[in-house]
A = this chain, B = another copy of it.
Amino acid sequence: MCETADNAPATTTTEDKVPIAPAIHPRNPYGPHPGDYLSNVSNFQLIESTLREGEQFANAFFDTEKKIEIAKALDDFGVDYIELTSPAASEQSRKDCEAICKLGLKAKILTHIRCHMDDARLAVATGVDGVDVVIGTSQFLRQYSHGKDMNYIAKAAVEVIEFVKSHNIEIRFSSEDSFRSDLVDLLNIYKTVDKIGVNRVGIADTVGCANPRQVFELVRTLRSVVSCDIECHFHDDTGCAIANAYTALEGGARLIDVSVLGIGERNGITPLGGLMARMIAADRDYVLSKYKLHKLRDLENLVAEAVHVNVPFNNPITGFCAFTHKAGIHAKAILANPSTYEILNPSDFGLTRYIHFANRLTGWNAIKSRVDQLNLQLSDDQCKEVTAKIKKLGDIRSLNIDDVDSIIREYHATLGTPALKPVDGAEPVEPIAKKAKTDSN
């Protein structure tokens, strides 16, 4: 939050000094809420929908080979389910569905269909492990999309569910636009399908507008009505898809629909990577035990390339600056203990942090660290002096690492042998670069 740390007075006095604490927080403040007895934050599953919702992304066209490559990468990452486009969407969609079912992946394969017997027959014939059925229940969708009333919806649902169950595969029933549906209608139909034995019921924020507390209330209410698992699907139109997913798990949902980079209709759904960031902060052990996080970057690059987009600059975890620290006071603390300004450990994702020191907001601790990397010897006061020079140039123009290194080297050269020329008031220079350090530049 604060820009500079350098020209502050002495930062530690003896009486202020906090003793080295054995563990600063015995309980993770970002972990499961102790009052949520039904929370699945430490017991969630992923339904990965890059090959279904993601295919609805404006730029997406996946041929069979690309679909198989993505499915294998998702399986390797460790997702629990892979959801595919309906075999009713097109002939090739049907063939691709069959082909992916035959790969023998560890992940269960699902396909996503309308609540209609024609689609259901096509779906079970592909060899999938389960079928995700959806129908619009909001008055908007009932009026402007399929034009059915709730009785019709319930009848159609029961027929399709019993048909799919008779093939001994999993079945999920989801409403669409759930947050604009009548609550009593919703609970009625969920109760009906739960009784006839669906594996999961789904809540969908189809327009991408639900907020977290609204999600918590609906999920918790539904949790008291059905005995099966609850799955949630959140669009990201108003930027809450990750938070809504987390809050749904707190309320008792168990499964979250995700796609790589969140690709889907409009600006998409809960992104796999962003949700991993959220979940690892809540339960690192669970996430690390299930998912190969170090493969996340490659997975995102694979999909980004396939749909011709760049990974957003501000993407959680893999955005180019997600682990870059710039302001002086941040850099200082990060160098002392990364946990001060990082809740995620970049090495969990096969990534590294970066202290950005080539700018006018830099501080002497960051520059001192660079001096060390260059294997030069400067006292703290000398580091402060050279930092002032760097900040001065940084006020005039944007700096790069070479600029900073030149200033440091030039300053060092003018000092001659620094140990012999301490600046006024500086303590004798300690040999800080005793062990050879590699230049990480």
Pairwise interchain contact B11-A146, C-beta atoms closer than 8 A:
yes
Q: A4-B114, A207-B341 are in contact. Are A25 and B180 (CB under 8 A)?
A: yes
Pairwise interchain contact A179-B312, C-beta atoms closer than 8 A:
no
Shortest Cβ gap from A336 to chain B (Å) = 4
Q: Chain A, interface size: which category?
A: 35 or more
The residues of B that contact A267 with a CB separation of less than 8 Å are 314-316, 319, 321-322
Shortest Cβ gap from A67 to chain B (Å) = 12
Shortest Cβ gap from A223 to chain B (Å) = 15
A398 to chain B: closest residue by CB:
B61
Q: Give complex CA distance A313, B57 in Å.
A: 11
Pairwise interchain contact B214-A213, C-beta atoms closer than 8 A:
no
The residues of B that contact A4 with a CB separation of less than 8 Å are 86, 88-89, 114
Q: A341-B265, A361-B55 are in contact. Are A90 and B180 (CB under 8 A)?
A: no
Chain A, 173-215, contact with B by CB distance < 8 Å: what is the 0/1 string?
A: 0101101100000000000000000000000101111111110
Pairwise interchain contact A239-B278, C-beta atoms closer than 8 A:
yes
Q: Give complex CA distance A437, B176 in Å.
A: 33
- Please pick, from B210, B237, B241, the residue contacting A322 in the complex, using a CB distance under 8 A: B237
Additional A-B contacts beyond A207-B343, A310-B313 (8; CB < 8 A): A5-B114, A18-B147, A58-B320, A93-B395, A212-B247, A238-B281, A239-B277, A243-B247
What are the nearest 8 A-B pairs in CB distance? Answer: A243-B243, A312-B312, A92-B395, A239-B242, A12-B147, A212-B212, A61-B398, A239-B274
